[in-house]
């Protein structure tokens, strides 16, 4: 039967358990010390916390400069200047995407993330290069991680002829999600932009994920339009709005009706926490809106920052939101785990019999301390196999 057991761990800080695994899946959880002594012991947790693997719901692996020598940032301050700068930086970069993104994926695995949604540039300036590289990397790491790919028109869609063809080609090759970006300020034709995305999504039977940096009333207006089309196309539960900065521009009580629409249509909101007015995350959650988080860019031409640590991101969310109570720190944790799993439509996710044995062990008294301290002494288990210890990737 190939049973294995993780002994003496405390799921989410609860009572000590033994966790029996079978073929990479959680088979049973029982009080510590009660699993049959004969079962092969994968690891003695020594009372550490047991967490489900972290979910990075928004990352740009294909853009990273990870592992290459430091490159002073040359981007301007506007989005369009950053897009142009990146085209210059990545256009002829000496190190292949696989040799940058691959090591970064391994770094993120070592931090405990085993589920990703990766936005992949669909830009005519480099054709299918980014898409093919990420499809290959997804295949390379398929035994360890689940990675959704989004075809993402970074440089604009309608304003860059040929981009929608590229997006179709990406979807034909197995990219999962239709991506969009700033329909009003980049493409400058918001309704046609959204109609194009929703046509692609319904045509291919896929979900949608839209980068929405647009500010204030303009951004809020577009969220309403995304909701309109989500309803009209029957895409409830299949749409994510990434960043949604405009939700930080209003007092939370002015957004209650919009939050209720998002909840009803199960449109997820992805926030990377920093860079802008904080989103009213607690209000959104209280109205039933699903919220998730991601690393965004990690050491790329946009910014040299980022560390791929979703538990540190939960801590940032708590700091930024002035969350101090245990239940609020648990909410931050939920956003980088269950919130991501819901947004990505993951099945067999969590700490229960039947779930994938995708797990993190780390020292902490409880879940709140796990968030605050985000200890780097993590043991990461993917599908029943130890893939990282003390934050170091063990290879595969």
- Select the residue interacting with its own copies from 141, 152, 302, 393 (CB under 8 A): 302
- Select the residue interacting with its own copies from 365, 377, 390, 392 (CB under 8 A): 365
- Select the residue interacting with its own copies from 195, 376, 385, 386 (CB under 8 A): 376
Residue 327 neighbours by CB under 8 Å, 6+ apart: none
Is 307 near its own copies (CB under 8 A)? yes
Is 140 near its own copies (CB under 8 A)? no
Is 16 near its own copies (CB under 8 A)? no
Is 23 near its own copies (CB under 8 A)? no
Fill in the per-residue mask, 320 to 359: x = in contact with its own copies (CB under 8 A), - = not in contact.
Answer: x-x-xxx--x------------------------------
User: 7 with 34: CB under 8 angstroms?
Assistant: no
Q: Minimal CA–CA distance to 61: which of 104, 11, 115?
A: 104
Residue 246 token pair: 């405009």
Is 392 near its own copies (CB under 8 A)? no
CA angle 215, 216, 218 (to 5 degrees): 75
> Helix 163-173 crosses helix 190-204 at what angle (to 10 degrees)?
20
Tell me the C-alpha to C-alpha distance, in Å, between residue 35 and each of 156, 162, 189, 190, 195.
Answer: 56, 59, 61, 58, 55
Stretch that binds its own copies, among 170-178, 186-194, 287-295, 366-374 (CB under 8 A): 366-374
How many positions of this chain bind its own copies (CB under 8 A)? 33
Looking only at the bridges linking them, the beta strands covering 177-181 and 268-271 are unpaired
Fill in the per-residue mask, 54 to 73: x = in contact with its own copies (CB under 8 A), - = not in contact.
Answer: ---------------xx-xx
Closest to its own copies by CB, 202 or 286: 286
In the region spanning residues 252 to 291, those forming contacts with its own copies, defined by CB under 8 A, are: 274-275, 277
Residue 247 neighbours by CB under 8 Å, 6+ apart: 219, 220, 223, 255, 269, 279, 280, 284
Point out which residues bind its own copies (CB under 8 A). 69-70, 72-75, 77, 274-275, 277, 299, 302-305, 307, 315-316, 318-320, 322, 324-326, 329, 365-366, 368-369, 372-373, 376
């Amino acid at each position: 039967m190939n049973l294995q057991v993780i002994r003496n761990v405390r799921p989410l800080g609860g009572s000590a358990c033994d966790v029996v695994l079978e073929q990479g899946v959680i088979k049973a959880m029982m009080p510590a010390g009660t699993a049959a002594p004969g079962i092969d012991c994968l690891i003695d947790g020594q009372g550490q916390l047991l967490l489900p693997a972290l979910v990075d719901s928004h990352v740009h692996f294909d853009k990273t400069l990870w592992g290459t020598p430091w490159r002073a940032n040359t981007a301007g301050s506007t989005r369009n200047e950053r897009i142009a700068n990146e085209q210059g930086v990545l256009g002829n970069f000496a190190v292949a995407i696989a040799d940058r993104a691959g090591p970064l994926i391994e770094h993120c695995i070592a931090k405990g993330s085993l589920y990703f949604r990766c936005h992949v540039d669909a830009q005519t300036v480099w054709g299918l290069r980014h898409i093919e590289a990420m499809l290959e990397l997804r295949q390379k790491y398929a035994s360890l991680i689940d990675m959704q790919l989004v075809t993402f028109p970074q440089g604009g869609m309608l304003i860059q002829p040929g981009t929608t063809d590229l997006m179709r080609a990406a979807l034909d090759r197995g990219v999962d999600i239709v991506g969009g970006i700033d329909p009003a300020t980049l493409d400058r034709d918001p309704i046609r932009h959204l109609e194009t995305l929703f046509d692609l999504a319904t045509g291919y039977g896929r979900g949608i994920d839209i980068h929405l940096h647009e500010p204030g009333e303009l951004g809020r207006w577009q969220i309403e339009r995304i909701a309109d089309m989500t309803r009209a196309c029957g895409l409830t539960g299949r749409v994510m709005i990434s960043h949604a900065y405009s939700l930080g521009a209003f007092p939370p009580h002015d957004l209650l009706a919009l939050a209720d629409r998002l909840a009803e249509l199960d449109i997820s909101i992805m926030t990377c926490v920093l860079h802008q007015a904080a989103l009213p995350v607690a209000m959104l959650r209280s109205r039933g809106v699903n919220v998730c988080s991601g690393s965004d860019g990690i050491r790329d031409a946009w910014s040299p920052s980022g560390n791929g640590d979703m538990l540190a991101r939960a801590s940032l969310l708590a700091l930024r939101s002035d969350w101090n109570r245990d239940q609020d720190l648990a909410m931050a944790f939920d956003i980088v785990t269950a919130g991501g799993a819901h947004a990505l439509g993951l099945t067999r996710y969590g700490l229960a019999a039947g779930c994938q044995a995708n797990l993190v062990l780390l020292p902490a008294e409880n879940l709140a301390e796990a968030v605050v301290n985000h200890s780097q002494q993590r043991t990461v288990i993917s599908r029943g196999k130890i893939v990282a210890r003390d934050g170091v990737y063990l290879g595969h």
